[in-house]
Amino acid sequence: MKKEFIIAGFGGQGVLSMGKIFACSALMEGHEVTWFPAYGPEQRGGTANVTVIVSDERISSPIISQFDVAIILNQPSLERFEETIKPGGILIYDGYGICTPPKRKDISVYRIDAMDMAATMNNVKSFNMIVLGGLLKVVPIVNTENILQALRDTLPTRHHHLIPMNEEALRKGMEIVTPLHTL
Amino acid sequence: MTSTENKYILLKGNEAIAMAAIRIGCDGYFGYPITPQSEVLETLCNEKPWETTGMVVLQAESELASINMVYAGGATGKRVMTSSSSPGVALMQEGITYMAGAEIPGVIVNVQRGGPGLGTIQPSQADYNQSTRGGGNGDYEVIVLAPASVQEMADFVETAFDLAFKYRTPVIILSDGIIGQMMEKVMLPPFKARKTAEEIATLYPWAATGRDMKRKNNIFTSLDLDQERHERHNIHLQQKYATIKEEEVRYEEIMTEDAEYLVVAFGSAARIAQKAIEDCRSEGIKVGLLRPITLWPFPTKRVAELAGQVKGILCAEINAGQMVQDIRLAVEGKTPVSHYGRMGGMVPTPEEIAEVIRKQLVQE
């Protein structure tokens, strides 16, 4: 098993943290992982992306240009990464602020209105965990319990009281992710 | 910290350097922040090793101050280090040649970014020449280790200190923005106590540990106004470098046994090239990878041997063509040697390198 993910959106949306929690839980389940961010001038409001590879064998290149799964959280990222999804791959996108929906017919497309749900939940910061919930529903590569353990491991202790809220966000994400076009 | 014992954890390369330094008994770190390596200093400050192992962590006022603190710390027999990125390491070159001249051990980590000048903050391998040819003056060499994974970032800290003290020489860990910023699983080295003053006095009689009446002063300088004596010192240095060349060459080979074509790449470029090689192998192209782990001493003999086996060699680097010169010196025209690289912070994809293997290497 080897799956290559790109997670892309605005800086400040929690793209890198979401990738880290995901990678950390995959590691707990005994997989090889690499997490490589587009680091540098990325900032709040700019674009941010991270490549996560999960594999059962030693991973050679952390740098790749084609992906099995793309999680797209804004219009500029959709324009940049839609074409990089392998035929037969998966695109999950947040509908908020997307003016031009994805066009590919040779991939499965899922929509998750995580931004709206985060607003409904009155907690904007839960956005990335809602998206992660959606991802885990579509690609159940790690189990929820390990995601929560990864959260406990990566969050400073002073934020541990937020874990139940994150669990709720994951569950919501699993509920609201909707297939638009499946192969 | 106990939760990280004997298990794999997820760390950035820069974080692994810092965590490993604390564990292997490093005495001091002096550094100045610069992207893409600032997490080294940041992690050390978060871990507060001065409260546990007694390791000193200091944000110096500049890279010049950092390297000269390493000079002084090393002269006292302490295991001290600094880290920076390309333009910062350029500033340190004077200190490095002074350390080489005065035979002072120390570790310098370079998490490279694109140059020349202040350049960019994205990954690069354009400091190969700076590291292996000496950015400083005079006839000196520096041992250069090139990690290709987060695990090697952690492991090479102790290797670098061991070599630095074995040969009384500065050692560079030449990493880059990819290995520094990426996260992978890593098993940190077990805790080792820092060396005591008594151990240092016994192990390193050359160190400036505070003179008692029984021995002469241990003075560290690279200046000698007696040219005959200074030539003898130079000859001694060259003999030391000859020993290092003989005994410390390290490299890794992947799928070279039956290789008809060879890719030579180091550090992050070796990871990218390996994916290209896997893809080419699946198409039936018999191509292998040689990854120099020590860039100096360079695996000259092994490259020369493989040059007799293969029909062509491609050097893939994230620069305009630097290590390719060492390959050509080793190959001595026995087989064609070509180069592929990207510059200025751009990183080649595995597909790009695979295409060069198919179109350029195999066609030649």
pLDDT digit string, tens, across residues A92-120: 999 997 999 999 999 999 999 999 999 99
Average pLDDT, chain B: 96
Q: Tokens 């590879």 belong to which residue?
A: A53
The residues facing A19 across adjacent strands are none
The residue-averaged pLDDT of B323-331 equals: 98
Give pLDDT, residue B210: 85
A43 or B345, greater pLDDT? B345
Average pLDDT of the segment spanning B89-108: 98
Contacts of B234 (CB under 8 A, 6+ apart): B139
Q: pLDDT tens digits for B127-158?
A: 999 999 988 999 999 999 999 999 999 999 99
> Mean pLDDT across the stretch B295-308?
98
What range defines the domain where residue A93 resides? Answer: 2-181
Cβ within 8 Å, pair B347-A63: yes
Q: Is any Cβ of chain A less than 8 angstroms from the Cβ of B187? A: no
- ipTM of the complex as predicted: 0.92
pLDDT(A42) > 70? no
- Is residue B316 over pLDDT 90? yes
Q: In this structure, how many other beta carbons lie within 10 angstroms of the beta carbon of residue A41? A: 12
Position A43 confidence tier, pLDDT thresholds 50, 70, 90: low
Chain B: nearest CA to A93, how far in angstroms? 25
Q: Which residues of B touch A2 (CB under 8 A)?
A: none
Q: In order of start, what are the domains of chain B with their CATH numbers? A: 2-197 (3.40.50.970), 251-361 (3.40.50.920)
Banded model confidence at residue A44, pLDDT cuts 50, 70, 90 = low
Residue B1 predicted with pLDDT over 70: no
Return the pLDDT at B90: 97
User: pLDDT-based confidence at B215, cuts 50/70/90?
Assistant: confident
The answer to which of A152-156, B229-233, B240-244, B316-320 has the lowest mean pLDDT is A152-156
Count the helix, strand and coil residues of chain A and give each as a percent rounded to the nearest 5: 40, 25, 30
Residues present in chain B in total = 364
pLDDT digits (tens, 9 = 90+) for B19-75: 999 999 999 999 999 999 999 999 999 999 999 999 999 999 999 999 999 999 999
| C-alpha distance from residue B190 to each of A148, B20, B24, B233, B259 (Å) | 28, 9, 7, 38, 38
B252 CB-contact burial (10 Å; exposed 0-12 / middle 13-18 / buried 19+): middle
Q: Pick from B25, B18, B67: which is nearest to B172 by CA? A: B67
Give residue B113's pLDDT. 97
A32 touches chain B (CB under 8 A): yes
Looking at residues B96-123, what average pLDDT do you find?
97
Q: What is the mean pLDDT of residues B210-232?
A: 89
Q: How far is A24 from chain B (nearest CA, A)?
A: 6
Tell me, yes or no, if A36 comes closer than 8 A to chain B by beta carbon.
yes
- Helix count and strand count (H, E) for chain B: 14, 14
The total number of structural domains that make up chain A: 1
The CA distance from B99 to the nearest CA of chain A, in Å, is 33
In the predicted structure, residue B229 carries a pLDDT above the cut 60: yes
**Between these two residues, A40 and B161, which has the higher pLDDT value?**
B161
Judge if the upstream peptide bond of residue A76 is cis by omega within 30 degrees of 0: no
pLDDT(A39) > 90? no
Instruction: Tell me which chain B residues have a C-beta less than 8 angstroms from the C-beta of A40.
Output: 35-36, 121-122
Beta strand pairing call for B337-341 and B261-264: unpaired
CATH number, position A17: 3.40.920.10
Q: How confident is the model at residue B2 (pLDDT cuts 50, 70, 90)?
A: very low
Query: Rounded to 5 degrees, what are φ and ψ at B237?
Result: -60, -45
Across the strands, what pairs with B176? B112
Task: Please state the rounded mean pLDDT for residues A122-134.
Answer: 94
How far, in Å, CA of B165 to CA of B160, rounded? 9
pLDDT at position B4 is 60
pLDDT surpassing 60 at residue B3:
no
